[in-house]
């Protein structure tokens, strides 16, 4: 009999998928650095010649993420920016990023009233589309279970669905849960 815990969480699934795609030397963005787990994963995937641009508005998130990255010996690969993910295009050239990863919501273990918002995230997604290279991956983990989360998740899903000519999009998440479960949206930018 299958163990239901074998189904990967959205955050695990995005790592499983990206590890098959990312290569040494790639340039990527962690749009929401948080506690640094995605930042470390991305830094490992891009290797010594790759670069990770990591964004977060909270000083505590940048500090936590930086500590984790340094503890793993990956500091040379990561550039941190304490600013909104909406400004990511100010630090990346158009068409150069292999992947951009968003993990929306709030910083685990901190003030749950400080959250990503639909308006900022939509601006960040527009910026992401400009800096993502053809064939690059745009990955967004949405959390509809907290205050403001349903609005943001719905806005992100609608934005991705409206980009059918530019993006090939898939949605992954659990069904039949007691409260809205996190889900993953993955989009691959068209090649031409």
In a domain, 1, yes or no: no
Axis-axis angle for helices 118-131, 149-161 (nearest 10): 30
The Cα-based distances of 20 to 17, 166, 174 in angstroms read 6, 22, 23
State the total domains in the chain: 1
Could you list the residue range(s) of the whole structural domain that residue 22 is in?
A: 10-189
pLDDT of residue 117: 86
Structure tokens at 117: 């918002």
CATH code for position 102:
3.40.50.150
Domain-located, residue 118 = yes
Residue 107 belongs to a domain: yes
Say what the pLDDT of residue 147 is: 82
| Low pLDDT (below 70) residues in the chain | 1-4, 107, 111-112
| Predicted pLDDT at 1 | 45
Q: Would 4 be classed as within a structural domain?
A: no
Q: Does residue 3 belong to any structural domain of this protein? A: no
């Amino acid at each position: 009999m299958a163990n239901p815990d074998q189904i990967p969480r959205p955050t695990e699934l995005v790592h499983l998928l990206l590890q098959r795609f990312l290569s040494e030397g790639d340039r990527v963005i962690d749009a929401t650095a948080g506690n640094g787990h995605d930042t470390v994963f991305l830094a490992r995937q891009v290797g010594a010649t790759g670069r990770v641009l990591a964004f977060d508005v909270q000083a505590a998130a940048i500090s936590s993420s930086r500590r984790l990255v340094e503890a793993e010996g990956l500091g040379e690969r990561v550039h941190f920016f304490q600013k909104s993910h909406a400004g990511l295009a100010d630090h990346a050239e158009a068409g150069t990023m292999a992947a951009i990863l968003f993990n929306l919501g709030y910083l685990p273990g901190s003030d749950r009233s400080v959250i990503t918002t639909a308006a900022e995230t939509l601006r960040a997604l527009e910026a992401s589309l400009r800096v993502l290279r053809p064939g690059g991956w745009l990955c967004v983990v949405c959390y509809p279970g907290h205050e403001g989360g349903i609005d943001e998740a719905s806005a992100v899903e609608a934005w991705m669905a409206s980009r059918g000519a530019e993006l090939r999009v898939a949605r992954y998440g659990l069904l039949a849960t007691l409260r809205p479960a996190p889900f993953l949206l993955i989009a691959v930018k068209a090649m031409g």
